[in-house]
Amino acid sequence: MPGSVEWFQSFWYFLPDGVEKVEFPPGVLEYFVSFQQKHPQDKEAGGQLFWKYAPAGHKRVALVTGPRPTDRRSRRHYKADHRQEQVEIDRCYEQGLYFLGDWHTHPEGIARPSTADIESIQEIYRRSRNPGPGLLLVIVGTRPLYEGLNVSWCNEEVVDLTRLAKT
């Protein structure tokens, strides 16, 4: 059945420079699905994304964190524990994994970042010691991921990224 976990293949996105690609492998996509807000009692969930270079030379999401017990969560709100996030960033860096951005769920079919989401990721970008050219913001909706996943590139601007058909 399309959209079910066993059918996932990697999702690929070109970053705005048009050269660099980022891969979301099946395990990452399955992790997102496990937190989709399919029921009225489901709370928003979220965390961080970390990457490493794949053998082919592209960026691959290698680790997804969250949600943490210390995050604040409700049906329509997610507030990460920023102290724990910094602990994750430091620990991952020591392991050769690099901060790529944030993810969280929304209780809507086709996810879109809210104004608060955009302001939050831009603030993270501005305050980061080494943000590089930008960060990803991933919003997970309730529809199958091929429809309900929103991936944006964020720095001083926010640009929706289009999933590539296949690479």
Per-chain mean pLDDT for the chain: 88
At 124, the pLDDT band (50, 70, 90 cuts) reads confident
What does the domain layout of the chain look like in residue ranges? 7-160
Under 8 Å between Cβ of 151 and 160: yes
At 2, the pLDDT band (50, 70, 90 cuts) reads very low
Q: Is 52 exposed, middle or buried (0-12, 13-18, 19+ CB in 10 A)?
A: middle
Amino acid 152: pLDDT = 93
The CATH class for the domain spanning 7-160 reads alpha beta
Angle at Cα 140 formed by Cα 135 and Cα 146, nearest 5°?
100
Whether residue 137 has pLDDT greater than 90 = yes
Amino acid 134: pLDDT = 85
Q: pLDDT tens digits for 49-106?
A: 999 999 988 899 999 998 999 989 888 888 888 899 899 999 999 999 999 999 999 9
The rounded percent of the chain whose pLDDT value lies above 70 is 92
